[in-house]
Amino acid sequence: MGPLLIGLYVFVLSVFVGFEVINKVPPTLHTPLMSGANAISGITIVGALYTAQTADVTVSNVLGCAAIALAMINVVGGYLVTDRMLKMFGRKR
């Protein structure tokens, strides 16, 4: 089985996992959940790290560096903002 087929298997199964995990969510959590899921989409940082490995000032390095920065804003900002929202639910319990 080639890498493309394996990738497709993984893709389809993960879509089902995503559907199953989020099938019932209280409205309270819609905004934090959207924000938390959004932080996960910053996983593209992994791809960005592949593309900026040399020292020269090249198009690929500049684009790669920009991609790393943008993905990191998404990741760090996303997790911190989500945590700030969720912290408020936890306080008085």
Binding to other proteins in span 8-37, by CB under 8 A: 10-11, 14-19, 21-37
53 near other proteins, judged by CB under 8 A: yes
Are the beta carbons of 41 and 70 closer than 8 angstroms? Answer: no
For 46-77, b/e burial (b = at least 16 CB within 10 A) is: eebeeebeeeeeeeeeeebeebbeebeebbee
Note whether 90 binds other proteins by CB under 8 A: yes
- Asked if 1 interacts with other proteins (CB under 8 A), we say no
Q: Could you give the string, one character per residue 55-74, with x where binding to other proteins holds by CB under 8 A and - elsewhere?
A: x--xxxxxxxxxxxxxxxxx
